[in-house]
Amino acid sequence: MAKQYEIPIGAQHISLLEPLHFKFTTENEKIINTDANIFYVHRGIEQACCSKFKFRQVSFVVGRVCGLCSISHTTAYSQVAEKLLKIEIPKRAKYLRMLVIELDRIHSHLLCLSHVAENSGFEALFMKTMQYREFAMELLEAVCGNRIQYDFSIVGGVSRDLKPQTGQNILDRLKKFMPQLDELLDIFRNNWTLSLKNKGAGAITKEDAMRLNVIGPFARAAGLPVDVRNEAEDLLPWKEVGYEMITETTGDVYARNMIRLREMYISKRIIENIIEGLPESGLITETKAFPDGEAVVRLEAPRGELFYYAKGNKTQVLERLKIKAPTFSNIPAMVEAFKGNEYGTAPAIIASYDPCLSCTAR
Amino acid sequence: MTVMQHVWIVLGVLFVLLNIGAGLIWVERRMLALWQDRLGPNRAGPLGILIVLADTLKLFFKEDWVPPFADKWVFIIAPAIVVASVLMSFVVIPFAPGIVVADLNVGLLFFLAMSSIGVYSIVLGGWASNNKYALLGALRGASQMIAYEVFMGLSLMGVVMMTGSFKLTDIVEAQRDMWFFIKQPIGLVIFFIAGIAETHRLPFDIPEAESELIAGYHAEYSGMKFGMFFIGEYLGITLISAMTATIFFGGWLGPEFLPGWVWFFTKTFAFILFFILLRASLPRPRYDQLMEYGWKILLPLVLANVMITGAVLLWLKG
C-alpha cells in the first residue's frame, strides 16, 4: 500500500478567494479523503441584526454579509421583513429587484468562471473573463450607485428608480457583451487543454447530489432541476420575465462551467424583458407597522438557494434572524466530490464550487 | 588568443547574460500585459523599465531568512546550483565567429550534462525546505526534468548524426547551406518542448504550479536566494532559446549586412518571445498528463526520428 500523505489547502492559500480549509488525504497524489473547515470568518452579523440595529436598518447590514451576492441578501431580508409587516410591494420594485439580481448573477458567474480558469492554470482566460466582467460592475454602479454591496432593496421596495437612459445603456452594453459571451462559451466548451483539467474532474452523480442535498448551479450541473426561481412565484414573478431552467448531466467542473455560461444567456433575456416591460408604479410601500410573527423566504442567489428566517415581536428590533447560505448546504457534497481526483485538479474543483465563505460563516 | 582576451570574453558574456536575465523580467511582464490586454508595469521610468531596478533592489534588501526547520547548508547551496549550472552551459555557446568561451569538442554533451545538474537545485531546494508543498514540487520537478532530459538528448541526435560532431561551432558551420530546422523539424519541436519542461515554464511549470503548490520548490525562499532561482529561470529560457538558435537556426549565420552576433541575438530573442507567448496563451496540464504525454507520445516520436535520420544518412552514403 502506498504511503498516505496529508496536504492542506487553506485557510490561506493562493488559489482561494476566502478563508476555507480543506485537508486532503492523498495516496500517490490521488485524493482519498477530505476534511473541511469553513467557519473562519464569523462576524456575528445575525446577533447584531437582532440587537444593535432596527429592522429597517438590517437590510443595509445584511448587504455586508457578502460582497458578491449582497443584492440577494438585501432582497431576501426585505422580503422576509415585508412578510412580517404584511405588505405587498409595488410591481415596479419587484421588477427592479429582479433586474439587479440578474445583473449580479452575471458578474458573480463570470467571477467564478475566471477563477476556475485561473486555478486550472489558464492565466490568459482568467484575464479575459475578468475583463469581460467589468461591464456588469459598471452597469451595477449605474443602477445602484455601488460596484459591490449595493443597498438597492430596502424594506418596502427599492431605494432608486431606473432612469430610461440607464435602461437603454444596459440594453446596449448587453448587446455588446453577447459576442464576448459566445467567445467564452466557445473556449470553455471546446478548448482541449482546458478540458484536460475540467472534464470528469470533481464529478458527482445525480443520485449523490439528491442524497447530499445539493443546490444551485452545483445541483443543476448534476442534472437536478433545483432552482427557486422555478418555484416561488409569489414574491418575484420570474416566469413572467422569461426564466427557464437549465441543467447538464455530467456533474463535473465542465458541466458547472456550462451551467454558469448558459445561465448568463437566460439572465440577459430576463434583463431585456424587464427593461422593455417595466411597469409604471411607485417604488416603495410605506407602512408604520412593526414586524410581527415568523416568516421564511427562499431566493435564488447566484450560488443557489438563500434562505432567510425572521421572527418579530412588535418592536423595532427583530427577535431572531437566521441566514442559511447556499454554500452551507453544499459542503457535504463538496467533500464527497473530491474523492478519486488528482490533487492537481483540486484547486479547479474548489473554484468550480464557487464557495462563498463570508455568506456561510456570516 | 591571449589570456586577457579570454578573460574579456568571459566577463562580456557574464555581463550580457546577467543583464538579459534581469531585463527579461521587464520584457516578460510587458509582453504578457500586451498579449493579455492589460497595461503591465508602466510607472517607474520610460515604459516602466526601472521596475527591473526596483525589483532587484527589493530582492537585495529583503530579509535573508532561513527557516529554522530547514537543512541550512543544503538550503543555501540549492539556489546557487541553478544559476551556476545554467551559466556553465553558456560556456559552449558560440555567440559569433571566435566569440565563445570554450569551444569544447563535446559541447552538446556538456550542455546536456549541465542541464542535468540543474535538477539538483530543485530537488535539494525542495527537500531542504522541509515543507510539504516544496517537497511535492521538488518530486514533481525531478521526475519531469529527468524524463524530459531523455527526449532532449535524443532530439539532438539527428543533428549530431548529420554534422558528425558534438562541437557547436561545427554544427553552426554545417548549416551554411541549409538550416537544420528544415531537415530536422521533429527534432526542433521536441527539443523546444523538452526545453520548456527543462526550464519548467508555463505550460509545464508543474513544479511551481501556482494554484496548487503555491510556489512549489521555492515556497520557503526569500530575498536574493529566491532571486537566484528567479534569475536561473530566466537564464534557462535564454539558454534554451540560444541553443535552439544555434542548433536549428544557424546560430550567427545570416545575410552579410549585419554582423554575426546581431543575428544570433535576434534569433535568440525571437525564441524568448515565443516562450513568453506560450506562457500568455496556454493552460498548464495536470502532472500525470504531462508525464503520459512525454513517455507515450514524445519518446516513440523522437526514437523514430533518430532511426529515420540514421537510415536516410546511410542510404545517401550508398
**What confidence tens digit (pLDDT) does each residue in A5-56 have?**
788 887 777 777 778 888 888 887 788 888 888 778 888 888 888 888 888 8
Q: Which residues pair with A99 in a beta bridge?
A: none
Q: What is the pLDDT of residue A118?
A: 84
Q: Which string of b and e fits A100-130 if b means at least 16 CB within 10 Å?
A: bbbbbbbbbbbbbbbbbbbbbbbbbbbbbbb
Helix (H) or strand (E) holding A298: strand A292-301
Which candidate, A94, A52, A57, A49, places its Cα nearest to that of A75?
A94
- The per-residue pLDDT for B212 is 67
- A356, A66 Cβ separation under 8 angstroms: yes
Q: Which of A356, A72, A109 is nearest to A221 (CA)?
A: A109
The model's confidence at residue A362, banded by pLDDT at 50, 70 and 90, is: confident
- pLDDT above 70 covers a percentage of chain A that reads 99
So what's the pLDDT on residue A358?
A: 76
What are the residue boundaries of the structural domains of chain A, listed by start?
44-352
Q: Which residues pair with A36 in a beta bridge?
A: A22
**Shortest CA distance from B133: residue in chain A:** A7
Task: Name, in order, each residue with C-beta under 8 angstroms of A158's C-beta and a sequence gap of 6 or more.
Answer: A93, A96, A97, A152, A283, A284
Q: Please name the residues in contact with A200: beta carbons below 8 A apart, sequence gap of 6 or more.
A: A250, A252, A254
Q: Does B39 touch chain A (CB under 8 A)?
A: no
Report yes or no: B209 at the A interface, CB cutoff 8 Å.
yes
Spatial contact of B114 and B86, defined as CB atoms under 8 Å apart: yes
Contact B131, B219 (CB under 8 A): yes
- Residue A1 predicted with pLDDT over 60: no
The C-alpha atoms of residue B87 and residue B105 are separated, in whole angstroms, by 18
| Full-model pTM | 0.83
Q: For chain A, count helices (H), then strands (E).
A: 13, 8
Interface membership of A134 toward B (CB under 8 Å) = no
Identity of the residue in A117, A118, A127 whose CB atom sits nearest the CB atom of B37: A127
Give the amino acid at A43: R
Subunit contact B288:A342, Cβ cutoff 8 A = yes
Q: What digits encode the pLDDT tens for the residues A213-241? A: 888 888 888 888 888 877 766 777 887 78
B63 touches chain A (CB under 8 A): no
Per-position pLDDT tens, chain B of length 318: 688 888 888 888 888 888 888 888 888 888 888 888 888 888 887 888 888 888 888 888 888 888 888 888 888 888 888 888 888 888 888 887 777 777 888 888 888 888 888 888 888 888 888 888 888 888 888 888 888 888 888 888 888 888 888 888 888 888 888 888 888 888 888 888 888 888 877 777 777 766 667 777 777 888 888 888 888 888 888 889 988 888 888 878 877 788 878 888 888 889 999 988 888 888 888 777 888 888 888 888 889 988 998 898 889 887
Task: Give A279-325 pLDDT, tens digit per residue.
Answer: 888 778 887 888 888 888 888 888 888 888 988 888 888 888 888 88
The type of residue at B253 is L
Mean pLDDT of chain A: 84
What dotted CATH number matches A44-352? 1.10.645.10
Q: Which residues of B158-196 are buried (b: 16+ CB within 10 A; e: fewer)?
A: bbbebbebbbbbbbbbbbeeebbbebbebbbbbbbbbbb
> Which of A119, A120, A123, A127 is the mutation pick for testing B, counting most B CBs within 10 A?
A123
pLDDT value at position A334?
A: 83
